[in-house]
Structure 1
Amino acid sequence: MLFDFDAYFIEPIAEEDAWKLCDFSIANTERLKRFFPKTLEQNLTPDLSRIFVSKKVKQFQEKEEFLFKLKEKEGRTIIGLVYIKELNWDKKQAELAYCIGYQFEGRGWATQSVQALTNYAFDTLGLTDLRIITHKTNLASVKIAKKCGYIWQRTLLKEHTPPGEDALDMELYELYA
């Protein structure tokens, strides 16, 4: 376990998480389809999830991308994900992306997880510049970014194109070590 909280813990994704990640993805399809479409499409079946998890474990080991799961202690179900991605080791920069299951929103767990993994990125990985990119209508994500000390920098024009939609402008928040 990387971080242990009262009702849940955070640890790196592992091979044995494939089935539970598939369950999480299916249960949260509506939440994931707009801003996590690639994660969703790669976890629609247990077989796809096995391939996805295997790839993410390898990327973690090779320090290309870090995927963490939030796991409920009681049921041991995956309740959320936090990525440390788009790593630029030369600039010591990365992006954090996060989602939490609909059943667990409003408890502060996503905020607590982003804060813990922000500290991990600075203290353990040695990064100095972290980014969160979110849509202005994703008020919960904006709130998490601000609560964790990230500062709005600018609007990124046509930064993200959800499936079946036009490109969206996204908001860039940054935090420096």
Structure 2
Amino acid sequence: METENSPIAIFENFSIEPIHEKYAWRICDFATINAERLQRYFPKTLAKNLTPTLSQIFVEQKVREFEKNEEFLFVLKDNENRTVIGLVYIKELDWNKKQAELAYCIGYDYEGKGITSRAVDALSKYAIGDLRLETLQIIVHKTNIGSVRIAEKCGYTWQKTLPEGHTPPNEKPLDMELYELHA
């Protein structure tokens, strides 16, 4: 059970690749190193990657979902040291509406270097060109300035506020901002 493993994009020393079984340990490392960062907006991803065994189960599930066109998970990889430095999901797919949501996270050490913007741009083009989706969404909290900038830099435009759009663990629901990109 393997996904196509050729990179979607390569830039400088980084690449974007579809999820593959070989990334289980590296995703576990990424999640545990960045646990505090992932806790608020990626609590499920974090919980499913706290140990190598959990990561193996997570990755096997994500590979199956990728093969069935249910959800697409990509790793951002530092090609020099072969570590996973981030994740980008194409999720909440609605094939009838030709719509999906992009969600992304990057490790502390790689923040602010333009890597996530390039990854979101490449995967937005992939989603529209290869997957034939027509509407892509990014949902962010207004205080996540870096994420708002990424959405805007990649051509997404603000649509509306989603009341109580996300509930982080042990917090009250947060209003979230919806950005969209249309083919």
Q: Is the 8 A contact 2:8 2:122 kept in 1?
A: no
TM-score normalised to structure 1 length: 0.99
Counterpart CA distance in 1 for 2:53 and 2:24 is 8
SS in 2 for 1:35: coil
Question: Which residue number corresponds to residue 100 of structure 2?
Answer: 94
Question: Which residue number corresponds to residue 91 of structure 2?
Answer: 85
Question: Which residue number corresponds to residue 50 of structure 2?
Answer: 44
Q: Over the residues paired in the alignment, what is the CA RMSD in angstroms?
A: 0.5
Counterpart CA distance in 2 for 1:7 and 1:141 is 22
Counterpart CA distance in 1 for 2:175 and 2:12 is 37
- Moved runs in structure 1, 4+ residues, more than 4 A? none
Aligned to 1:151, which of 157, 165, 176? 157
Q: Spell out the pairing of 1:58-137 with structure 2 (5 A cutoff).
A: 58-137=64-143
TM-score normalised to structure 2 length: 0.96
- Residue ranges of structure 1 left out of the alignment (5+ in a row): none
Question: Which residue number corresponds to residue 26 of structure 2?
Answer: 20
Q: CA deviation at 1:46?
A: 0.3
Q: Is the 8 A contact 2:139 2:179 kept in 1?
A: yes
> Is structure 2 residue 169 aligned with structure 1 residue 163?
yes
Counterpart CA distance in 1 for 2:130 and 2:22 is 25
Counterpart CA distance in 1 for 2:174 and 2:13 is 35
- Residue ranges of structure 2 left out of the alignment (5+ in a row): 1-6
Counterpart CA distance in 2 for 1:148 and 1:58 is 29
Number of matched pairs = 177
Q: CA deviation at 1:16?
A: 1.0
Q: CA deviation at 1:25?
A: 0.1
Q: CA deviation at 1:51?
A: 0.3
Counterpart CA distance in 2 for 1:2 and 1:93 is 20
Question: Which residue number corresponds to residue 3 of structure 2?
Answer: none
Counterpart CA distance in 1 for 2:34 and 2:154 is 24
Q: CA deviation at 1:2?
A: 1.9
Q: CA deviation at 1:9?
A: 0.4
Q: CA deviation at 1:152?
A: 0.3
Q: Percent identity?
A: 61
Aligned to 2:17, which of 11, 29, 48? 11
Q: CA deviation at 1:3?
A: 1.0
Q: Which amino acid aligns with 2:43?
A: P
Q: CA deviation at 1:47?
A: 0.3
